[in-house]
Each structure stands twice: as structure tokens, then as C-alpha cells.
Chains A and B, each alone.
Chain A
């Protein structure tokens, strides 16, 4: 899978209060949250962002609260993926769990500038500027995380798992009857 989009650049320690301020947390509606995405970091972000655009940030992106509203708001605003030097851990797992691709690459985060066109190979974790040859490799996901991503998020993974569980149980019952 390949992503192509325009870069929106942010600095270090962008926290979840900036990504989606608590004054909007009285709802969990993605469309509603998307209207206020990144509001306290850049009030004009929502007007500028276009479908498939990419957020590029510095260290510790998404620090602070555990609110899943943060990656939800980013995803619902049309952002296709986030590239950062590093991610805060709860934001990172939340993004994986809801199927928002996130890439850790200090090099790419440094080199990519505002309004650059960027191409990302999601499966390979390869990042490059449009029409440029240099490829930046993002940190590789461990196999376990890849499985969640392949399912499209943790709940999809759970649904696969749930179906398997039920199938096993049923199989067990059939066996007993045969006895």
C-alpha cells in the first residue's frame, strides 16, 4: 500500500491537548472531533488539511493523555499517516489499535518540510520525497504489531480471533457428541 500526500510539519512534544483539546472531549463522534484536529497547535490546520495529507513531527508526538480521540481526530480529518522522530507510547499503541499508520524515522522527520509532497510505502515502511530517489527507512514493526495492522486494528484482529475461538469451541462440542 502506498500513500501520497502533502506534509504538515510540527515540532517536538506535540501533546494530546493540542491535538484535540479537552473542551471537545464531551463527544466521541469522529466527524465532530475532526473539526478541531490540531486546533491548539495550529488553529488553521483543519482548513489547510486535505485528504491523504501527512503529519510530520519531532520527538515524543502525542504525549500526555490516553485519549484515543487524538488519533481518531487525525484519522477522521483525512490524514493518512504520521511520521515522527519518536512517539509517546499510549498515542503510538492507540494509533496502531485504530489503524492509523505511524512511522518512526528521525531522518525523514528532519528532512521533510512543510508542503513537501511525500510518498510512503506502508508495508515496507519506506518514506521518500516525491520525484526524489533517497528513501528513508522507518523503524520496522515487530511481527505481532504487523498482525494487528494487517487486520486493520485491534478490534478487527479480535474479531478474527473471536471467530477462531468460537470455531474451536464448536469443534470441541462436536467431538464430545461423537464419543
Chain B
């Protein structure tokens, strides 16, 4: 079964064609990466999958369900999660509050008005467990804006994972991180359950080829190559795109 099928997607911004008949398929449980130079349309493609943008034409299927025009929050309710290229967190709130918001989104208690959140022990226990597992428990009262960039990236992923996604989209999970931080993140991602299908965008080729089982190369809004990391490394078209051999 396919976790995700992006079928013939076109996206125009005015006269600019950002995506041209793009087709991407992701098998359930697969780790797939999308690479490509800046402006290739990777993030646009992600936004179409998550619902932030609507495609000009084409369809998106999530576990065989057509979600092309579904609002963002309903896609999330189908257990489609994402992290952002620029970390997108609740900066004025604490780590614990961030996690509670993520855990609470599928619970009806989110509409409880006349009881303080402090009284909801099950969700606080769940948050505690989750934070301990990720080694964030001792930082639970830290404001997110005071966290290091690496920790913010991790928290971004934690928020996306809190809803137990079937598909996790990650837009450059290692952007702006130090080598040590990249190490932490990649090992975390490697250890994720195989039940979670992962599609991610990555500029760091070492990370991309290390994590991914399948690589899709996007260039100028079109899929130019697809295959295993070994195949892609050998592909002359990919070399040309990255090294620009046309003019030597």
C-alpha cells in the first residue's frame, strides 16, 4: 500500500510554474527523501501535501484517500504530521506546554473551559513520559525561545510525533545544526518506529543518503530521477544538476 501518492501535481504562482506534473509515491513504512537545488519546488510540494497550499491541478492521496482539498487540521486528524523548514513552535510557551498542546489536539478535553489544565493528570503524565523519553524532562519549564536551535529542531519533531502520525513530513530537519546536533537528530530519526512513514527534504547529502531508502530528485519543478541512494549517486543527470557540468 502507498502511504502517499502525489499525482500529477502542478502549481503555478502567477506566471511561475513551481511544480510541473510531479508524481511522487511513498510506500508505507518507507524513509524517502526529496533532494534538489534551491528553488526546485521541494517545500512547495510539501505544502501541497500538508494543505498549506492548494495545487493548481493534480491530486494528493493519503492512504488511498483523496485529500487534495482537505483543510490542514483535518489532514492532521488523519495522522499526517509535519515539521517546518523554519522551526515553528509556540515560542512564548514552555516545553511542557508545547507538548501538551500537541498531545491534546485529538482529545475532546481541548474544549474544556471551566477547569484548570493543571487538574488533567492523564495528559500531564503522558507529556511527562514523552519528555523523559526524549531527554527533555528537565527542560520542561524552559521557554521555547530560550532553547538552543538544536533543541528547538528536536522539539519540532517531538510535536509532530506526539500525534502518532502515519506519515511524517520533515522539511530540512538538520538545517542550521552543528555536526553533533545532526548526529543526535539522525539517530533519533533512525530509531523511529517503522510504522511511521517518513518523507523528508534534505540539503545535507550525507544525512539524506544515510537516512533514506529511496531518493527523489526534484529540479525546476520536475522529478528528474528516483531510486535508491546508490543509484542516485551514480546518476549522471543528478551529477549535472549539482555540479553543473554544462559550462565546465
Do A and B pair up? The answer is: no
B interface residue numbers (CB < 8 A to A): none
